[in-house]
Chains A and B, each alone.
Chain A
């Protein structure tokens, strides 16, 4: 089977003056289409560093990275940008939407930088992406008129709009309360059901049952990598929470 992500002995070392910080010490990771991976690990274990490498926002110190069959390490700067544009949808902890810009325009933004023009009608594509996160009716709202959960949905729609090979999310629920977190995860689950591959970093053990596979990191290496046995549906839990709240 074709792997979407394959890394070979990926390392990343930061230099702070004379001090070398080995953020990643050799990551061998492969992700196949349709997976929903949760990366766990204590603070400073290198999760964000890994995500930035996978998202082509940064280059590794050594090792190889194949994204959708392409050896990313051999690419030039502009090609890097193009990979980010075509293959990757990135979701951040802090949403990172453009302020004073409507949801629709935020979602349209990646298409603005797509020079292949493979998506014929950017506006329609953006509306469709917003519909997939159930926010079509809020497309004219600006970020400050949306709740945190809604903002993150817009960010997910933006990550979707380019039909990327994979969605990478670094602590997407880090700024959200637990109910809204489950809500965002339910969006991920739905997209995953539709065949979209997702890798997300999370700190919250509560969210593990919603993933298909868990990777635990410590000190820049993968310590544990296992499939989730007792999987849960976020949507069902949300419904349950709603009825519980009504009873109270």
Chain B
């Protein structure tokens, strides 16, 4: 026990003797451990947020797209995917019995000028049901009506962010704005929703009648997507079934042929999103792990230099009765101590960085105990693994040759 205490004391002394070099050696480990923890914390933060959003969004939502391709994937077969029109939307509404709400989505984006400011944002052309489907609440003014949609009226509802950017000090209701040079009248402002699970600002949006956006802004005849709500959460599967039947009829899909559209429910979407963040977490984590490995190689490098440099010292120790084992443990203790100290500093650094990220950016982070333990043990293991070879090299030195070493 006394021996062990002496060993630790001697190692600390030798580390302190070369303060600068010790710090540089540990730097690889510090950065490695810090990076692993921060990266995984960011990934965990993102997926945590997505999970929270599942609960808040409700699960009665279905999204329909033309084309048989995966959501978000590359669409196969160019000609096969005829888009949906407003007529399709009406027809679905008429036939389906399991739906509570349905809205097309026509997406556009561009510069908006108003109140003497301009802002780049996305414009979503929708109908009145959309407010319910996405649980948007009106903060001021009102949402547009069926009549506005039918009449292709140039009215719009601003998201909280857009309202703030264009009219920081005044009431936007009733004001005129220009969306990509087309004048619109602001009739309402949405209540603030905050960030989505993916870290996007959900309030950075303008809602306008789908017809207006399609015909006056975007052009063409197809909508991008159709959003529906099932009559209740537990009817979501039936709704999906019914929609499939109806859509196949509408689109004349022959029996045996594949659907030329796809329906996704909220669960699938969030699952996809969180699996993306899981991949992200894994990716970030493994990049960081590589840096930890590089840090370990740095330790080995310095320990090898140190062994060469201290050949004489090793010779002296051997000549006064140190056993191979003593030299081995001494150098091993040093490298493990170096990496352990580096690991601890790395952990502290990670806490600092995540704190800064949390306070000064929109990223949310979650540090889990297990990742700290994993990163730290990995660092210590790196110390043992990469310290062993130099330590063994030191222990195997011949005392006479070591003493003669200049």
CB contact between B3 and one of A57, A77, A81, A115 (< 8 Å): that residue: A115
Q: Could you say which residues of chain A place their CB within 8 Å of the CB of B10?
A: 112
CB contact between B324 and one of A57, A77, A117 (< 8 Å): that residue: A77
Q: Could you say which residues of chain B place their CB within 8 Å of the CB of A58?
A: 399-400
Please count how many residues in chain B sit with their CB below 8 Å of the partner chain's CB atoms.
Answer: 22
Docked complex Cα distance between A85 and B399 (Å):
13
Residue contact B320 to A110, C-beta cutoff 8 Å: yes
What are 9 contact pairs spanning A and B, CB under 8 A?
A55-B319, A57-B399, A77-B323, A81-B318, A82-B321, A84-B320, A84-B321, A85-B322, A113-B317
Q: Could you say which residues of chain A place their CB within 8 Å of the CB of B313?
A: 98-99
Docked complex Cα distance between A92 and B6 (Å):
26
Which B residues between 1 and 20 are near A, CB-CB below 8 angstroms?
A: 2-3, 6, 10, 17
Q: Could you say which residues of chain A place their CB within 8 Å of the CB of B403?
A: 57, 92, 96
Residue contact B320 to A90, C-beta cutoff 8 Å: yes
- Residue of B315, B318, B321 ringed by the most chain A CB atoms within 10 A: B321
Report if A52-B326 is in contact (Cβ < 8 Å); known contacts: A84-B319, A90-B319, A90-B320.
no
Decide yes or no whether A236 CB sits under 8 A from chain B.
Answer: no
B12 CB, nearest partner CB in chain A, Å = 14
Docked complex Cα distance between A86 and B17 (Å):
29
Instruction: Compute the total of residue contacts between A and B using a CB distance below 8 Å.
Output: 62
Interface residues in chain B, defined as those with a beta carbon under 8 Å from any beta carbon in chain A: 2-3, 6, 10, 17, 312-313, 315-326, 399-400, 403
A84 CB, nearest partner CB in chain B, Å = 4
Contact-size category for A: 20 to 34
Q: Could you say which residues of chain A place their CB within 8 Å of the CB of B320?
A: 84-85, 90, 109-110, 113, 158
- Residue of A84, A92, A112 ringed by the most chain B CB atoms within 10 A: A112
Q: Could you say which residues of chain B place their CB within 8 Å of the CB of A115?
A: 3
Residue contact A52 to B400, C-beta cutoff 8 Å: yes
A79 CB, nearest partner CB in chain B, Å = 9
Decide yes or no whether A35 CB sits under 8 A from chain B.
Answer: no
Decide yes or no whether A206 CB sits under 8 A from chain B.
Answer: no
Residue contact A114 to B312, C-beta cutoff 8 Å: no
CB contact between B319 and one of A57, A77, A86, A117 (< 8 Å): that residue: A57
Residue contact A78 to B324, C-beta cutoff 8 Å: yes
Residue contact B315 to A96, C-beta cutoff 8 Å: yes
Decide yes or no whether A100 CB sits under 8 A from chain B.
Answer: yes
A153 CB, nearest partner CB in chain B, Å = 16
- The chain B residue with its CB closest to the CB of A100 is B17
